[in-house]
A and B are shown apart, each in its own frame.
Chain A
Amino acid sequence: MDLLLQSLVNGLSIGSVYAIFALGYTLVFSILGIINFAHGAVFTLGAYFTYFLIGGQNNGTGLLAGAQLPFGLPFPVAIILGGALAGLVSVGLERVAFRPLRARGADPLLALVSSLGAGLVIVNLVQYLIGAEILSYPTNVYGHWAEQHPSLNLGTASFPIQIRTVQVIIFGVSLVILLALLYLINRTKMGKAMQAVAENPTTASLLGVSTDRVILFTFLLSGLLAGISGTLVATSFSISGPYFGLAYGLKGLAVIVLGGLGDIGGAVLGGFVLGLAEALVPGEYTAYKDAVAFLLLFLILMLRPQGLLGRRLIQKV
């Protein structure tokens, strides 16, 4: 029983990271109707940015082997700055890989290919400059206290529920980000503008919404979310190399379809569902854990293609 509860809490923790990562995907999809396949690469970049901003040394064998920034920022500042840098990269991607296609009204499939190409460039640039080695965050990123107490007991002495402290912190941070984001989307002018563009870009621009600015902001936000979630995952495990984000990129796809493509609440729900489903995989089948996301994706597409929260798809003649 305690093991089950332990898995559930772990599932919530990883699920909250999936949720903020997938939100970045779904925001872009709701505005442009395309899937940004470079999102996983931005996730990877965010983890690298933060690693270097806190003063981490490159122990990879790339061109910048042994490089290190002359200063080290405190982690809370670094994760936000790292996320912001990832957001800027994402804006750059929009300019280079999406805008020319959008300007021409090209087939959305081509945006898929150009974003894949952009992701390939980022991943290989990282490999070239940094190297393919594993980079690990120092154990004290979340402060001295968290280092002293690597796991917490959320239950009682007789009924222990042991959780890694990192997971609890990640869960807290993700929840704060989720709430801030929901506020931004539902309560601010920019959020309303985003919803308007998602609903109908032409009408929105007639009503005085600057579509281009909304799109740029969406990419900035999406990159920021990817960068922060990349950093959070990296503090829990480590950066496994330039391909770190690939698996998360694919799982993120499963998450947004699970909830309903382009649906904000759906992405959050999907993230938690996937996190919990993965956590509940019995110990002897852990090797199959990576297939859970895709099994869920396949099932939902068969049974309810519009996703758990999505509106019914109406086919227009």
Chain B
Amino acid sequence: MEAFFQTYGFLLVYMCLQALLGLSTYLPLMAGQLSLASSGFYAIGGYVAAILSTQVFHTSGAYPIGYLLLETLLAGLLSGVVAVVVGIPALRLRGIYLALATIAMVEILRVVSLNLSITGGAVGIFGIAQPFSSPLGYMWLVGPLLLLVMFFAYRLEGSRIGRAFIALREDELAADAMGINPTYHKVLAFALGAMLAGVVGAISAHFLNTWNARQGTFDVSIAVLAYVLIGGSRSFAGPVLGGMVLTALPEVLRPLKDLRFIVDGLLLMLAAIYLPQGLANPNWLARRKTAPVREKT
């Protein structure tokens, strides 16, 4: 058991972090907003933590947890503010147009971070202080966070705001006619996802010890979207399951060596074709007395 955690501690924490990123894309999708911006906010959060811990807070020895929590708070807030500023004009767009606008945002952020001196340019920021002595230590932070966010998403699905999100996803015009304010709820869903992605970025910067422009790229956006769509986009369990399975997959496929990314791509393709509802089908999870979720036509 000890040896297992020694070997796979890093992977386990990473799986949880990716599951959280999956949830950050799931939240806007709940309100029908296909956003590929998670990796952008993830990058912003990471830079906040990386810059603060290497240039503002000077510490020696183990990095204080309090500072780390403060960084995650600031990262979440900054991501949320950026999300509201970008979101209010961008969320007038629907479907593929919104996805394209968020791709544009991610790419602009990437090019800017590649060229600014405060973000370390192409090299990035490295030697980010470690609050824990081993990768598994992060589990004390990431594990409860994942459970908390899952509980939040679960409760959200049943709450007034969550039901407003779902109504918007199913039919924006009808929801509007029912008195749901589309702009307010769409921006809220977008900002919630952004804040979560920012927090995950801040923790990941410490966890990975280094942060650079490669962390927030189009590839990452797509990987995170795949977590949600393959895991299942109709319940919070989907992105968590998808994030964990798809993160572990390259490790599981390691015996295939160089072929593993090819198999990875093939699985992505096959899952899209043969598992359209995702791994976590809400019809299995539906509580009694609640009607099963209708398949969208």
Contact = CB atoms under 8 A, between A and B. Distances in A.
Interface of A: 35, 37, 96-97, 100-101, 104, 106-111, 113-114, 116-121, 124-125, 127-128, 246, 250, 253-254, 257, 261, 287-288, 290-291, 293-295, 297-298, 301-302, 305, 315, 317
A113 B230 contact: yes
A201 to B, nearest CB: 17
B173 interface: yes
B256 to A, nearest CB: 11
Residue among B173, B259, B265 having the largest count of chain A Cβ atoms under 10 Å: B265
Interface stretch (B96-104, B135-143, B148-156, B159-167): B96-104
Which residue, of B101, B104, B225, B229, has the highest number of chain A Cβ atoms within 10 A?
Answer: B104
A133 B81 CA distance: 42
Contacts of A101: 272-273
- Determine which residue in B259, B271, B272 has the highest number of CB atoms from chain A within 10 A of its CB, and name it: B272
Contacts of A250: 103, 107, 218
B286 interface: no
B120 to A, nearest CB: 14
Interface residues of B, number: 41
B267 A117 contact: yes
Interface string B160-180: 000000000000010000000
Interface of B: 34, 89-90, 92-93, 96-97, 100-101, 103-105, 107-108, 111-112, 114-115, 173, 218, 222, 225-226, 229-230, 258-259, 261-262, 264-273, 276, 296
Enumerate the 5 nearest inter-chain pairs by beta-carbon distance, A residue then B residue, closest first: A120-B265, A117-B268, A117-B269, A121-B265, A114-B272
B22 to A, nearest CB: 14
Nearest to B262: A124
Given A124-B261, A257-B100, A294-B107, 8 more contacts: A96-B269, A118-B265, A120-B261, A120-B264, A121-B269, A253-B100, A298-B108, A301-B101
Contacts of A301: 90, 93, 97, 100-101, 104
